[in-house]
Amino acid sequence: MMLIPCPWCGHRDAAEFAYLGEPSPRPDPSTATPEQWRGYLYLRDNVAGPVTERWYHRMGCRRRLLVERDTTTNEVRPHRSLVEEES
């Protein structure tokens, strides 16, 4: 089980977190086409290699956070922006 670096709680077991996946920017709902909207809902790049991911520290500080994870090695680093609010 991976450790996830939470900027508020430190390195914690991945089991304490919910995986929210690659952040998918929300299209403008007033102009989005069905394709754009469903891309936002369902389509992810699923890259083999370093990806930016959102995790939610459900059993800890209850904050969403961004990390960079290499999906081939599970090496996880804090995201350069550290916390969502500053991204």
Partner 1 sequence: MTPPRWRPSAAPSTMSMRLERQPDEVIDRDAPLTFTWNGRTFPAYAGDTIASALAACGVRVFSRSFKYHRPRGLLTASYLDPGCMVQVDDEPNVRGAHRLVEPGMRVSSQDTWPSLEVDVKAANQLVGRFLSAGFYYKTFMGPSRLWPAYEKVLERFAHGGEIPDLESYDRRRHHYDKRHAHPDVLVAGGGPAGMAAALAAAEAGATVLLVEEEHALGGHLRWGGDDVRSALAELRRQIEGTAAIEVLTDSVVLGRYDDNWVSVVQRGLPTVDERLVKARAKTLVVAAGLVERPYVFAGNDVPGVMLSTAVRRLIELHAVSPGRRAVVLRANPDGDAAVAALRRVGVEVVHVEDARRGGDIVRVRGRDRVRGVHLADGRRVACDLVVTATGWTAPVSLLTMAGVVPVYDARAARFRPDTTQLPDNILATGGVVGDGTLDELIAHGEATGRVAATRSAVVGRRWRAASPTAGGQVDSAAEPCEASPPALPVDPHPELFRARTHGIVDFSEDVSSSDLVTAVAEGYASAELAKRYTTATMGPVQGKLETVNVVAIVAEATGRSIQQTGTTTWRPPYAPVTLGALAGPEREPVRRSPLQAWHEQHGATPLVAGAWVRPDHYGDPAAEVRAVRDGVGLIDVTPIGKLELHGPDVPRLLNLVYVNRWSKLAIGRVRYGVMCAEDGVVLDDGVTARLAEHSYLMTTTSSGAATVWEWLESWLQTEHPEWQVHVTAVTTAYASINVAGPRSRELVRRVVPDVDLDPEAFPYMHVRTGSIAGVADCVLWRIGFTGELSYELHVPAGYGLHVWESLMAAGSDLGVRAFGVEAQRILRLEKGHLIVGQDTDGLTRAGSAGLDGLVKLDKEDFAGRPELVWQDRVADPPRLVALRTSDPTVVPVEGSQIVTDGSHIRGRITSSRMSPTLGRSVVLAQLDAPLADAGSKVTIAMVDGRRASAVVTEGLAQVDPEGERLHG
By a kind-dependent CB cut-off of 5 to 8 A, residue 5 interacts, out of Zn ion, partner 1, none, with partner 1
65, 81 in Cβ contact below 8 A? no
Of 40, 65, 41, 37, the closest CA to residue 53 belongs to 65
Residues 37-76 that bind Zn ion (CB under 5 A): 57, 60-61
* Minimum distance of Zn ion from residue 9's CB (angstroms): 3
Pick the binder of partner 1 from 21, 22, 26, 47 (CB under 8 A): 26
Q: Which residues contact 49 (CB under 8 A, 6 or more apart)?
A: 70, 71, 72
Of 22, 14, 8, the closest CA to residue 74 belongs to 14
Name the residues that contact partner 1, by CB under 8 A. Answer: 1-3, 5-11, 13-14, 23, 26, 29-30, 32, 34, 37, 40-41, 54, 56, 58, 62-64, 74, 77-78, 82, 84-85
